[in-house]
């Protein structure tokens, strides 16, 4: 092995060791806790037309000041579509940016893992902590899995910026409490 290969392996092991020993991100519950929560999530959409394709999060974010309210999402279980099918609850299939807000409810305190899936980019926050990030375009696939600490049962703020460029789209979330199954997050866990 040459010096460059040894250096790259050492750097990778250092990064991996840092992630293995990292403490869970501590989530902050909504304060005050919301009353009269409706099911689903609020969403605002911006459409970039058919001419210029959205290629990254910064471009998607630049469109959101002109976003308009859309039909609320049922939750975060929007499986991979066929090419040409609408994005989430929006009428268009391409070049869509979405600003999603609401809450996610944890029924008990503890350590959880959260994982977003997206096609294309996403920036996702729960309880003030970033739990998902993809800057550019990708197929429908899992993003990073993030370990979080839920200090008490209740509602936690959720905010997602998402975009879909071209082709198919998906936006989903998995969760699991430490020692329990890791599953798709049910729509009933989300509120607005």
CA quadruple 103, 101, 178, 130: dihedral sign: negative
**Residue 30 CB-density burial (10 A; 0-12 exposed, 13-18 middle, 19+ buried):** middle
Give the model's pLDDT for residue 2.
Answer: 61
Assessment of whether the complete model's pTM goes beyond 0.95: no
Ordered by where they begin, the domains of the chain are 24-191 (2.60.120.1560)
**Residue 187 CB-density burial (10 A; 0-12 exposed, 13-18 middle, 19+ buried):** middle
Give the model's pLDDT for residue 51.
Answer: 72
Give the model's pLDDT for residue 49.
Answer: 87
* Mean pLDDT, contiguous 10-residue spans, the chain (192 residues): 54 49 92 96 94 90 97 97 96 96 98 97 98 96 97 98 95 97 98 98
């Amino acid at each position: 092995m040459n010096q460059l290969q040894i250096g790259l392996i050492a750097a990778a092991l250092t990064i991996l060791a840092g992630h293995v020993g990292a403490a869970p991100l501590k989530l902050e519950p909504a304060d005050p806790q919301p009353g009269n929560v409706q099911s689903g999530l609020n969403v605002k959409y911006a459409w970039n037309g058919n001419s210029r394709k959205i290629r990254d999060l910064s471009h998607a974010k630049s469109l959101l000041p002109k976003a308009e309210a859309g039909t609320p999402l049922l939750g975060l279980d929007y499986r991979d579509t066929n090419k040409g099918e609408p994005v989430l609850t929006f009428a268009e299939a391409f070049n869509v940016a979405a600003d999603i807000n609401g809450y996610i409810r944890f029924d008990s305190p503890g350590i959880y893992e959260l994982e977003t899936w997206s096609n294309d980019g996403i920036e996702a926050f729960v309880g003030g902590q970033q739990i998902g990030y993809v800057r550019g375009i990708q197929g429908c696939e899992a993003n990073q899995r993030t370990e979080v600490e839920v200090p008490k049962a209740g509602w936690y703020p959720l905010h997602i910026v998402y975009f879909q460029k071209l082709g198919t789209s998906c936006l989903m979330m998995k969760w699991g409490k430490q020692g329990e199954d890791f599953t798709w997050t049910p729509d009933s866990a989300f509120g607005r």
